[in-house]
Amino acid sequence: MICAQGFTPVTQFGFSFSLSSALKTQRQRFFSTPQLYCHSPVNFCFMISCITCNHRNSTFSVLKAGKFRDLRLFKSVELDQFITSDDEDEMGDGFFEAIEELERMTREPSDVLEEMNDRLSAREFQLVLVYFSQEGRDSWCALEVFEWLQKENRVDKETMELMVSIMCSWIKKLVEGDHNVGDVVDLLVDMDCVGLKPHFSMIEKVISLYWEMGEKEQAISFVKEVLGRKIAFMKDDREGHKGGPSGYLAWKMMVDGDYRGAVKLVLHLRESGLNPEVYSYLIAMTAVVKELNEFAKALRKLKSYTRDGIVAELDKDNVGLVEIYQTELLADGVRLSNWVLEEGSSSIHGVAHERLLAMYICAGRGLEAERQLWEMKLVGKEADSDLYDIVLAICASQKETRAMNRLLTRIEIISPLLKKKSLSWLLRGYIKGGHFSDAAETLVKMVDLGFLPEYLDRVAVLQGLRKRIREPGSVETYFKLCKCLSDANLIGPGLVYLHLQKHKLWVIKML
């Protein structure tokens, strides 16, 4: 099986061609595409070396003059080496007889080629392929010729690159010519039938062509056709692959910022029974993370506008809608992760839990996020220490004491620098949640351990306690914190004063 893993534009081979509008009934197959001219380059190439054909108005013509047939090549043709006008002497009668017999279609192409096998060179077989790829010729015959060459083990690298270029240019013209998506998929099936297994880069290019033309629905229809008809293709070995057609299309949507659309696409494909590749579930989970992140940013911006009095505060109904939307996104992410765990190999289970962790962090779900940290550890994927700290801060803001205690056990065995960082995240979590008494205790603990808390953190805690000074126990907590910070030379001496209005008396004491 030959893998069509990349292609050079057939226009670089120097031949004008297209698919014929109809084949004769003996073929029982047909293609149709507009003529492709060679005067403008087609940027439709991937990973193979370029093989060029320099020409001007190049064409094949088979003219009857008794038994002599004339093949005219204006200028020169380069197929790894130049074919000049002097080389035309090498094209013997066998070449022209083969063309004539194949065009008559009175016999099977394989029979004709078998008979002419010893009389045709590799170069002549290549020119037979190009001849039948031209406008008005029997395009299916080119596939049959290639199939026979494949069976006879006469397809070298050069011939394969030529055939791949022909096929890919056909695909490009079908896409750009507003043909049905089914016609494009039919051509991919035909490639597989003649032993030219399409490479995934071809699938990617078709999707990209539709996408760049603004035909997004066509791109979705193409992916559905490929999945529904189970088109086989060779996967890329290069980094950054998108796994398959559904994953690649979801990735294209995600790049355009349509995160929700990418998620809905993969869910729809799965629910339709088309079985998208497992990697597409991971891409869709990434889209969920990005959508949750953007949603959180929008909410923070809305809150800032509310504080500044630009917009009114959200009412109960709108708050409910916000929670519903976030919950639906998380539910979609959980469904996707379940499919990854059910269908994917154990090597990607850790990635699924990592995506879930990111979702719960973006949504501010501390307990769920903490669980994913331990799930990752169980499958052998250790989360970064920063993620532990972020989850710790979320749990602190929500006063999830048991989860916090579990997460704090790790700081006993980490370096002093990382310990200070974790305690700082814990402190900021308390501040965000408005738990200033706990924040004050954390500040005192940090000072006792010899860590210098950040200035803004110290100020935030002191201001928070001062605003709540009338609450039971707040005065003692405030005094204790002030004394601790003063002893560490982090603040100046504190003055405590009491005003007795009845006696017009101020009582002042320095801490």
Q: Is the domain of 262 the same as that of 347?
A: yes
More confident site: 123 or 289: 289
Query: 383, 399, 421: which is the final residue of a domain?
Result: 383
Q: How confident is the model at residue 82 (pLDDT cuts 50, 70, 90)?
A: very low
Query: 348, 383, 418: which is the final residue of a domain?
Result: 383
The closest of 343, 341, 6 to 354, measured between CA atoms, is 341
More confident site: 110 or 395: 395
| pLDDT value of position 90 | 56
CA distances (Å), 421 to each of 196, 389, 415, 454, in order? 57, 8, 10, 11
Query: Are the beta carbons of 205 and 251 closer than 8 angstroms?
Result: no
| pLDDT value of position 107 | 86
CA distance 54 to 148: 28
| pLDDT value of position 89 | 53
| pLDDT value of position 91 | 65
Q: Bridge-partner residues for 495, per DSSP?
A: 510
Is 287 part of a structural domain of the chain?
yes
Is 487 part of a structural domain of the chain?
yes
| pLDDT value of position 68 | 31
Q: Is the domain of 349 the same as that of 445?
A: no
Contacts of 264 (CB under 8 A, 6+ apart): none
- Reduce the DSSP state of residue 321 to 3 states and report it: helix
Q: Point out the least confidently predicted range of 4-13, 277-286, 465-474, 499-508.
A: 4-13
More confident site: 221 or 135: 221
Number of domains in the chain: 2
Name the pTM for this structure.
Answer: 0.75
Helix 416-433 and helix 385-397, axial crossing angle in degrees, nearest 10 = 30
| pLDDT value of position 15 | 40
DSSP string, 95-109: HHHHHHHHHHTSS-H
Q: Is the domain of 362 the same as that of 277?
A: yes
Q: What percent of the chain has pLDDT over 90?
A: 46
Report whether pLDDT(264) > 80: yes
Is 377 part of a structural domain of the chain?
yes
Q: Point out the least confidently predicted range of 34-43, 176-185, 220-229, 286-295.
A: 34-43
Q: Is the domain of 256 the same as that of 310?
A: yes
Is 118 part of a structural domain of the chain?
no
Query: Are the beta carbons of 479 and 511 closer than 8 angstroms?
Result: yes
Q: Is the domain of 438 the same as that of 497?
A: yes
DSSP string, 370-408: HHHHHHHHHTT-PPPHHHHHHHHHHHHHTT-HHHHHHHH
Report whether pLDDT(54) > 70: no
Contacts of 103 (CB under 8 A, 6+ apart): 62, 137, 138
Q: How confident is the model at residue 479 (pLDDT cuts 50, 70, 90)?
A: confident
Q: Is the domain of 352 the same as that of 416?
A: no
Q: 8: buried, middle or exposed (CB in 10 Å: 19+, 13-18, 0-12)?
A: buried
| pLDDT value of position 242 | 57
DSSP state of 236: P
Count H helices and E strands in the chain, helices first: 20, 6
Q: Is the domain of 433 the same as that of 372?
A: no
- Reduce the DSSP state of residue 83 to 3 states and report it: strand
Report whether pLDDT(39) > 80: no
Q: Bridge-partner residues for 199, per DSSP?
A: 234
First to last CA, the chain: 86
Q: Point out the least confidently predicted range of 13-17, 45-49, 307-311, 507-511.
A: 45-49
Q: pLDDT of 61-73, one tens digit each? A: 443 333 333 333 3
Q: Is the domain of 308 the same as that of 414?
A: no
Q: pLDDT of 352-369, one tens digit each? A: 999 999 999 999 999 999
CA distance 17 to 450: 79
> Which helix or strand (DSSP H or E) is residue 197 part of?
strand 196-198
> Which helix or strand (DSSP H or E) is residue 499 part of?
strand 495-500
Is 478 part of a structural domain of the chain?
yes
Report whether pLDDT(58) > 50: no
Among 21-35, 103-117, 425-439, 478-492, the range of highest mean pLDDT: 425-439
CA distance 461 to 443: 9
Q: What are phi and psi of 36, to 5 degrees?
A: -105, 120
Q: What percent of the chain has pLDDT over 70?
A: 79
Placement of tokens 């629910």 in the chain: 271
| pLDDT value of position 212 | 92
Q: How confident is the model at residue 79 (pLDDT cuts 50, 70, 90)?
A: very low
Contacts of 35 (CB under 8 A, 6+ apart): 16, 17, 18, 135
Provide the Cα torsion 135, 136, 138, 140; round to 10°. Answer: 50
Mean pLDDT of the chain: 80
Average of per-residue pLDDT across 285-300:
96
Average of per-residue pLDDT across 385-407:
96
Q: Point out the least confidently predicted range of 144-158, 311-325, 335-349.
A: 144-158
Is 248 part of a structural domain of the chain?
yes
The pairing of beta strand 77-78 with beta strand 82-83: antiparallel
- Which domain, by its residues, includes 263? 243-383
Is 284 part of a structural domain of the chain?
yes
Q: How confident is the model at residue 504 (pLDDT cuts 50, 70, 90)?
A: confident
Q: Is the domain of 422 the same as that of 360?
A: no
> Which helix or strand (DSSP H or E) is residue 510 part of?
strand 505-510
- Reduce the DSSP state of residue 150 to 3 states and report it: helix
The number of C-alpha atoms within 13 Å of 296 and in the hemisphere containing its C-beta is 16
| pLDDT value of position 358 | 97
Query: Are the beta carbons of 179 and 213 closer than 8 angstroms?
Result: no
Q: Is the domain of 261 the same as that of 372?
A: yes
The closest of 189, 188, 128, 116 to 152, measured between CA atoms, is 116
Is 5 part of a structural domain of the chain?
no
Query: Are the beta carbons of 22 and 32 closer than 8 angstroms?
Result: yes
| pLDDT value of position 368 | 97
Report whether pLDDT(506) > 60: yes
Report whether pLDDT(4) > 70: no
Query: Are the beta carbons of 371 and 383 closer than 8 angstroms?
Result: no
> Which helix or strand (DSSP H or E) is residue 139 part of?
helix 139-151
Q: Is the domain of 494 the same as that of 418?
A: yes
Q: pLDDT of 99-118, one tens digit each? A: 888 888 888 888 888 888 88
Q: Is the domain of 251 the same as that of 378?
A: yes
